[in-house]
Amino acid sequence: MMLIKVLRSKIHRARITETRLEYEGSITIDEDLIEAAGLVPGEAVLVANCNNGTRCETYVIVGERGSGTICLNGAAARLGEPGDVVIILGFAYLAPEELESHRPQKIVVDERNRYVREM
């Protein structure tokens, strides 16, 4: 059976709040944003940095609810700095017959990484 990789979740234009090189590796995201975007702790995500063009794949770690935290950890910390704008993307593999009804969960945040609206 053929599966097609499609966008499932998106946090649009969040800002990195901190980086921690001495960490096991991942991206820490405010729990409110994880829920709003439909992400799952431990889920693989692609992080695209709009400031420097880098992209990295890592996994989601739950950050403090309401904190606005977007923290690049481990090796990913070398790919951004506080204030950089990032897009965080989660994907799913769907069968062709699932594509028509699929709608990605995409959210927009403000300059403090607070949920604003769905896209």
Q: Which residues are catalytic?
A: 26, 59
Closest by Cα among 92, 100, 102, 88 to 4: 92
- Is residue 16 within 8 Å of residue 47, measured between CB atoms? no
Distance between CA 88 and CA 27 in Å, rounded? 10
DSSP state of 64: P
Q: What percent of the residues of the chain are helix, what percent strand, and what percent coil, each to the nearest 5?
A: 15, 50, 40
